[in-house]
Amino acid sequence: MNKAFRVLALQPFYGGSHFQFHRDWTSRSRHQWKTLSLPDRHWKWRMRHAAIYFAKQMSQLAETGFQWDILFVTDMMNLAELNGLLPSRFRKPAILYFHENQFGYPNQRQDQRDQHFLFTNLISALSADRIWFNSKFNLDSLVSSLNTESKKWPDFSPVDAIQSIYQKAEIQPPCLLQPQIDWHHFASQKQARKKNGDPIHLVWAARWEHDKNADDFYKTLVILDRCDFDFQIDVMGQRFQKVPAVFNKIESEFSSRIGRWGYVESRNDYEQVLASADIFVSTAIHEFFGLSAAEAISAGAFAMLPDRLAYPELLSYCYPTEEHRQHLYEGTPESLAEKIIQQSNNGFSFRRLIDGAQRMYHNLGVHNRVPHLDSALSEVVMGWHEHE
């Protein structure tokens, strides 16, 4: 089982969490990886054209004498089209990794949903030998949405095929790098700030796009301000060409309370901000795993997350079930503001936060996850050869 296999990875959208997961695994993997990638922009176009592009790249790669034992692709790939474009001699087992699914992505307008992208996810899943999901929520939301959407299709809905996805599915969460911080040092700093009556330090960190719902974060800040609650904020995250207008409102109306603003290039600086936070806040309406929340928890921050999406599942990696409720709010700005004030008044158990950070890293850290991912990949290759 410790044999090293040759893996060809196709990354149609090579950025953000897609890039981070791939880098953290492959840089420590026992397997031999070759990666072909496209930039992380124009996601709709990627799902349309990536199969054509990679089929050509793979043919050119094969002409150099490179051979692979298994294919690893992500959900931005139309795997069925790729298989159809490739010569049969290129056929190898394929793992399809779902970072997200197009059924669960919230559109700004319902009439924007393109059924073709949803169906691409379905036929790619049916074409894969094994399907990996970063969370059970991701898997369940895909199958549930497929069952709902299939009722709108004219006829011959592939109900049995949809249910077969479960038979090939595994939950394979991504890896976490070990934070290069001193938990006890930051806990002491937070305790000192609390004794001095300093403002509560809130951190919001996510992509600056509509699905991360910064509007609710803004509304929460307005409520806190009206309550004369003393706070400071760091707002971090990757920006794209179109930035929601609410970020201008936050920057304008709360400029005196802002510390960090925008993308933090340095990994060490990013971890330092997370570790210094009293409360890490998410307002997302689209989250299939919650990587930034996991990183915040592993840095020792108190995570306050909406009671939806993958967040309850994420908390299971670091806290016993009975402790989940402390970190979940009902999902509205009013409930978030109320819980921030309540938690600040009650104080923080820094020993408990450190224990949670250690459990999070133990369960999701690269030292455990990489060997597990390597073995799971080996099982797919060996199982495929057994059934040839």
317-346: pLDDT as tens digits: 999 877 888 999 999 999 999 999 999 998
Say how far apart CA 310 and CA 284 lie, in whole Å.
10
Instruction: Report how far residue 257's alpha carbon sits from residue 227's, in angstroms, rounded to the nearest whole number.
Output: 15
CB-based contact 47:75 (threshold 8 Å): no
pLDDT of residue 145: 87
pLDDT at 234 over 60: yes
Unique residue bearing structure tokens 């207008």: 245
Helix (H) or strand (E) holding 96: strand 94-98
Q: What pLDDT sits at residue 154?
A: 83
DSSP per position, 43-55 = HHHHHHHHHHHHH
Secondary structure (3-state) at 306: strand
Starting at the edge strand that comes first in sequence, how are the strands of the sheet with 279-281 ordered? 258-262, 231-236, 200-205, 279-281, 302-306, 328-329
Token reading at 260:
């960090």
Q: In the prediction, which pLDDT does 295 show?
A: 97
pLDDT for residue 113 = 55
Identify the band that residue 97 occupies on the pLDDT scale cut at 50, 70 and 90. very high
Q: What is the per-residue pLDDT for 219? A: 98
Two tokens at 113? 């949903």
pLDDT value for 104 = 62
Overall residue count recorded for the chain in this entry = 388
Q: In which order are the strands placed within the sheet that holds 70-74?
A: 32-39, 6-14, 70-74, 94-98, 130-133, 169-171
For residue 386, name the pLDDT band (cuts at 50, 70, 90): confident
Nearest of 222, 333, 204, 198 to residue 261 by alpha carbon:
204
Checking if the pLDDT of 261 tops 90, the result is yes
Does the pLDDT value for residue 289 go beyond 70? yes
Q: Are strands 70-74 and 130-133 parallel, antiparallel or unpaired?
A: unpaired
DSSP 3-state of 4: coil
- What are the φ and ψ backbone dihedral angles of 258, each rounded to 5 degrees? -90, 135
From the CB of residue 163, how many other CB atoms can be counted at a distance below 10 Å? 12
| Sequence letter at residue 375 | S
End-to-end CA distance of the chain: 19
Confidence of residue 105 (pLDDT cuts 50, 70, 90): low
Yes or no: say if 272 and 236 are a contact pair by the CB < 8 Å rule. Answer: no
Task: Check residue 2 and give its pLDDT.
Answer: 82
Query: How confident is the model at residue 73, as a pLDDT?
Result: 98
pLDDT (average), residues 282-293: 96
Q: How confident is the model at residue 109 (pLDDT cuts 50, 70, 90)?
A: low
- Confidence (pLDDT) at 1: 58
Per-residue pLDDT tens digits for 152-166: 888 888 888 898 999
Place of tokens 């931005």: 76
Decide if 90 contacts 114 (C-beta within 8 A): no
53 Cβ contact list (under 8 Å, min separation 6)? 38
296: three-class secondary structure by DSSP? helix
φ, ψ for residue 14, nearest 5 deg: -90, 80
Measured at the CA of 169, the angle between CA 164 and CA 174, to 5 degrees, comes to: 160
pLDDT score for 322:
78
Do 312 and 324 form a contact (C-beta atoms < 8 A)? yes
* Whether the predicted pLDDT of 123 surpasses 60: yes
* DSSP sequence for 210-273: GGG-HHHHHHHHHHHHHTT--EEEEEE----SS--THHHHHHHHTGGGEEEEE----HHHHHHH
Would you place residue 121 in the very low, low, confident or very high pLDDT band (cuts 50, 70, 90)? Answer: very high
384 CB-contact burial (10 Å; exposed 0-12 / middle 13-18 / buried 19+): middle
Write down the pLDDT at residue 107: 61
Count the helix, strand and coil residues of the chain and give each as a percent rounded to the nearest 5: 50, 15, 30
Distance CA 7, CA 326 (A): 42
Rounded to 5 degrees, φ, ψ at 41 are: -150, 160
> Which band of pLDDT confidence, cut at 50, 70 and 90, is reported for residue 149?
confident
Q: Between these two residues, 106 and 247, which has the higher pLDDT value?
A: 247
Match 């079930």 to its residue by tokens. 321
The pair of structure tokens assigned to 23 is 């880098």
**pLDDT reported for residue 324:** 86
194 has a pLDDT exceeding 90: no
pLDDT at 330: 97
User: What confidence tens digit (pLDDT) does each residue in 29-78 have?
Assistant: 999 999 999 999 998 899 999 999 999 999 999 999 999 999 999 999 99
